[in-house]
Chain A
Amino acid sequence: MAISEQDLVDFASNAAKAGALETELRAAISRAYYAAFHALVPFAGKLPKSRVCPPSLEHVNHRELRERLIEWRTDAVSPRLKSMIATKSTLSRALEAACNARIIADYRIGNEVSLAEAQTQIARVKGILRQVKQIQAEIDRDRLDDSAVNSAEPA
């Protein structure tokens, strides 16, 4: 059965409760990051390859996703996104913060991970998902405008 990024965020939110074990908090941080990752990959797929992208890369990985967002020219995908410069700057930084929090959660088992950290990560990722929805809504609106123009054109 397929799952969505929202399922991952819900899992993280349920795990990051008072009294949770540290393993659960780490899992919450990690799953929340992957919710952001999967939400952004379809959009990143519309962006040109980054300057550091290896020629052999077939799928957008963590680093390539980050680089594409940093290099994203906001008018490249849709003219409606041109004004989203603030979204671009916050989105790429929030993703980097979420990714680095995930690295600590997954690899630094000697570092303590707190409930506050897990909940902040989830709040951060919810913000990313909201921004992705805004971007998608703009792209959809652009598509609707295009189809309206096409259908209005005389045969």
Chain B
Amino acid sequence: MTIQAQPETIFQGLLEQVFEALQRRNPTEFQMRLWEREADQLLRASRGDGLEIKAHLAALRGEDEECDRLYSTALHVTDDYADAAVRYLALLATRLRPEKLLEVYRDVGTAFKGNPQAIRFVEALLAGEGFIVSAWKLSEELSKMGSFSAAGPAAESEQTTQSMRIDSQEDTDFGAPLAFAKRFLASRNIEQQGVRVSPSVSDENGSTVFFQIRTDQSPEDAAQTETELFEALEVAAFPLESQGKIVLGLIGTRAVLD
């Protein structure tokens, strides 16, 4: 599932541009004003779509409260609730606001019922934030619907979750060290390119969830950053991470080709 609702619309084009700007670069003030004007025009044609673009622009300016207010209104007036909710969650993930993401997910989660495409997207989104308790529940839902899961081999996930007694854990127990790592990388202006989540259970290594963050770095630099991250994690002392039940690692995606 992509974050676009309808292909080939002004909304889609604008959304692509502002979402990309959120992920990669700071737009100029001139560009921001152009987008604001287009959002105002869109607002007159389709209020929900216009509000969503304005919410993205608020996020681009770093105005998170305004972004939340605009998205909250957009969700009330949109005729495309499930997709709008998915886009809001994606925006929150991009803005490194996992706590708000979880809060919004708990409010809007029922909107995805019976929609395997949306569930799969949200499952991957939640897993990528470390919220594996909720992601696992969505994986179960997909399995009941006869649909495949996005977050990895379901059987392995189930074994891991059972052996780690995930039901007695909170999403935030798993998400907090990952959020810490993401913020650590962001504070160093290291571009992040996604997270791979690998739950595993084995006699030789016990039960772990392995989060690998892809970074726009050489492997050598990633290994160096990883060491610094590990030092910071020692000080932060997250219980599941300190016990080795959550393992973090980086992948420097600029592989050496010669």
Interface flags for A63-99 (1: CB within 8 Å of B; 0: not) read 1001100100000000000000110011011101101
Chain B positions 146-201 with a Cβ under 8 Å from a chain A Cβ: 152-153, 198, 200
Q: How far is the CA of A62 from the CA of B71 in the complex (A)?
A: 48
Contact B227 A100 (CB under 8 A): no
The interface stretch among A2-10, A106-114, A135-143, A145-153 is A106-114
Other-chain residue from B206, B230, B252, B255 in contact with A18 (beta carbon distance below 8 A):
B255
B205 at the interface (CB under 8 A from A): yes
Q: How far is the CA of A59 from the CA of B44 in the complex (A)?
A: 72
Contact B252 A119 (CB under 8 A): yes
Contact A116 B219 (CB under 8 A): yes
Interface size classification for chain A: 35 or more
Q: Which residues of B contact A100 (CB under 8 A)?
A: 198, 200, 205, 208, 210, 247, 249
Q: Which residues of A contact B251 (CB under 8 A)?
A: 114, 116-117, 120
Chain B positions 200-258 with a Cβ under 8 Å from a chain A Cβ: 200, 202-206, 208, 210, 212, 214, 219-220, 222-224, 226-227, 230-231, 233-234, 242-244, 247-258
Interface size classification for chain B: 35 or more
Contact A96 B208 (CB under 8 A): yes
A interface: dominant SS: helix
Interface residues of B (CB under 8 A from A): 152-153, 198, 200, 202-206, 208, 210, 212, 214, 219-220, 222-224, 226-227, 230-231, 233-234, 242-244, 247-258
Q: Which residues of B contact A107 (CB under 8 A)?
A: 200, 202
Q: Which residues of A contact B254 (CB under 8 A)?
A: 116
In angstroms, how far is the closest chain A Cβ from the Cβ of B181?
A: 11
Interface residues of A (CB under 8 A from B): 18, 61-63, 66-67, 70, 85-86, 89-90, 92-94, 96-97, 99-101, 103-104, 107-108, 110-111, 114-117, 119-120, 122-124, 126-127
Contact B249 A97 (CB under 8 A): yes
Q: Which residues of B contact A93 (CB under 8 A)?
A: 230, 233-234, 247-248
Contact B219 A123 (CB under 8 A): yes
In angstroms, how far is the closest chain A Cβ from the Cβ of B191?
A: 14
Q: A-B pairs with the 7 shortest C-beta distances?
A: A89-B234, A123-B223, A97-B249, A119-B219, A100-B210, A116-B255, A93-B230
Closest A residue to B206 by beta carbon equals A63
Q: Which residues of B contact A96 (CB under 8 A)?
A: 208, 244, 247
Contact B205 A62 (CB under 8 A): yes
Contact A86 B234 (CB under 8 A): yes
In angstroms, how far is the closest chain B Cβ from the Cβ of A47?
A: 16
Q: Which residue of B223, B224, B243, B254 has the most chain A CB atoms within 10 A of its CB atom?
A: B223
Closest B residue to A90 by beta carbon equals B230
Q: How far is the CA of A90 from the CA of B256 in the complex (A)?
A: 24
Known contacts A18-B255, A114-B255, A119-B219: A89-B250 contact under CB 8 Å: no
Contact A122 B219 (CB under 8 A): yes
In angstroms, how far is the closest chain B Cβ from the Cβ of A48?
A: 18
In angstroms, how far is the closest chain A Cβ from the Cβ of B123?
A: 17
Contact A123 B247 (CB under 8 A): no
